[in-house]
């Protein structure tokens, strides 16, 4: 059986074979994805993907711990990273440490991820110096959707671009082992990747990133209207609709179940 990827294995991939990451929220899906990807990210996107919320803001620490534990229990090879939800790490470094320590202890995941740039550098330093591996997340930060005025890509002018670069440098210097860059102009993600020493993982970013991540339901074709940067690798939404229609039709016409799908009467 292949060995589990470690944090040093991930950092060693800077500039090498790109890292393949996918979000994952359940044990059965983790079993399917684990042999094929390097990182399973238990993203707080589960608020929308699993619970039908409008944004990630309503996701709680307990929700992340439950889903994180399910994924970590099933993954044998990929590095499992759990997103810290909104409100669990911003108030103080001590509160951030307590929340991250709970995630690490109660899920069995190997790392946490949190959103933020220069404003989170002190927190990241506090966590990493105390043994908590942290993945950063800059650019479009969905937990700041209201402050940003919607899910618009970032780096539209020179000022915004310079701030993204400063954010990336600040969190890299603070000790993150890798950095998600979401929804930014392509050339900015390329520049950030060239200038920081840790692997960048793009989503709606650049082919130059050291890895890529997508939301699993988007790339499987289950999400209704996925963002434009998503390539559909399957059309499971159509397959599920077709299967449900066939099933309901056969139940109503009594074509299902035939005796083959029933327990036979046992002769004494």
- Size of residue set near ligand KIV by CB under 6 A: 11
Kindly state whether residue 83 participates in binding ligand KIV, applying the rule CB under 6 A: yes
Residue 180 lies near ligand KIV (rule: CB under 6 A): yes
CB of residue 24 vs ligand KIV: minimum separation in angstroms? Answer: 10
What count of Cα atoms within 13 Å lies in the side-chain half-sphere of residue 62? 0
3-state SS, residue 82: strand
DSSP-H helix ranges across the chain: 7-11, 27-33, 46-49, 61-74, 93-107, 121-129, 145-148, 158-174, 186-195, 216-219, 236-252
Q: Report the DSSP beta bridge partners of residue 180.
A: 137, 201
Pick from 19, 8, 7, 1: nearest CA to 209: 19
Identify whether 182 is a catalytic site residue.
yes
Task: Note whether 44 binds ligand KIV by CB under 6 A.
Answer: yes
- Select the residue interacting with ligand KIV from 30, 45, 185, 210 (CB under 6 A): 45
Q: Is 132 in the site for ligand KIV (CB under 6 A)?
A: no
Assess 59 for contact with ligand KIV (CB under 6 A). Answer: no
Q: Which of 5, 10, 22, 23 binds ligand KIV (CB under 6 A)?
A: 23
Instruction: Report which of 41, 37, 52, 99 is spatially closest to residue 223, judged by C-alpha positions.
Output: 52
Task: Determine which one of 94, 182, 186, 250 is catalytic.
Answer: 182
> Counting contacts by CB under 6 A, is residue 203 touching ligand KIV?
yes
Residue ranges in contact with ligand KIV by CB under 6 A? 23, 43-45, 83, 137, 180, 182, 203, 213, 215
């Amino acid at each position: 059986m292949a060995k589990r990827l470690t944090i040093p294995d991930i950092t060693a991939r800077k500039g090498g074979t790109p890292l393949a990451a996918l979000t994952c929220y359940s044990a059965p899906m983790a079993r399917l994805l684990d042999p094929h990807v390097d990182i399973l990210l238990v993203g707080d996107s589960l608020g929308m993907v699993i619970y039908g919320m409008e944004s990630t803001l309503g996701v709680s620490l307990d929700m992340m711990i439950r889903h994180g534990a399910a994924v970590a229990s099933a993954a044998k090879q990929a590095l499992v990273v759990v997103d810290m939800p909104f409100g669990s790490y911003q108030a103080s470094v001590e509160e951030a440490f307590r929340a991250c320590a709970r995630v690490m202890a109660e899920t069995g995941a190997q790392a946490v991820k949190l959103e933020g740039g220069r404003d989170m550098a002190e927190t990241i330093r506090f966590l990493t110096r105390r043994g908590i591996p942290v993945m950063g997340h800059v650019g479009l930060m969905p937990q700041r959707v209201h402050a940003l005025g919607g899910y618009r890509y970032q780096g539209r002018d020179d000022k915004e671009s310079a701030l993204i670069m400063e954010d990336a440098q600040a969190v890299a210097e603070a000790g993150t082992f890798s950095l998600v860059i979401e929804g930014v102009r392509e050339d900015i993600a390329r520049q950030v990747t060239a200038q920081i020493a840790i692997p960048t993982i793009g989503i709606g970013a650049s082919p130059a990133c050291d890895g890529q991540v997508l939301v699993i339901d988007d790339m499987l074709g289950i999400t209704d209207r996925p963002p434009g940067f998503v390539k559909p690798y399957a059309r499971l939404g159509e397959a599920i609709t077709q299967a449900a229609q066939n099933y309901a039709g056969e139940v109503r016409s009594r074509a299902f179940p035939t005796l083959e799908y029933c327990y036979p009467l046992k002769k004494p």
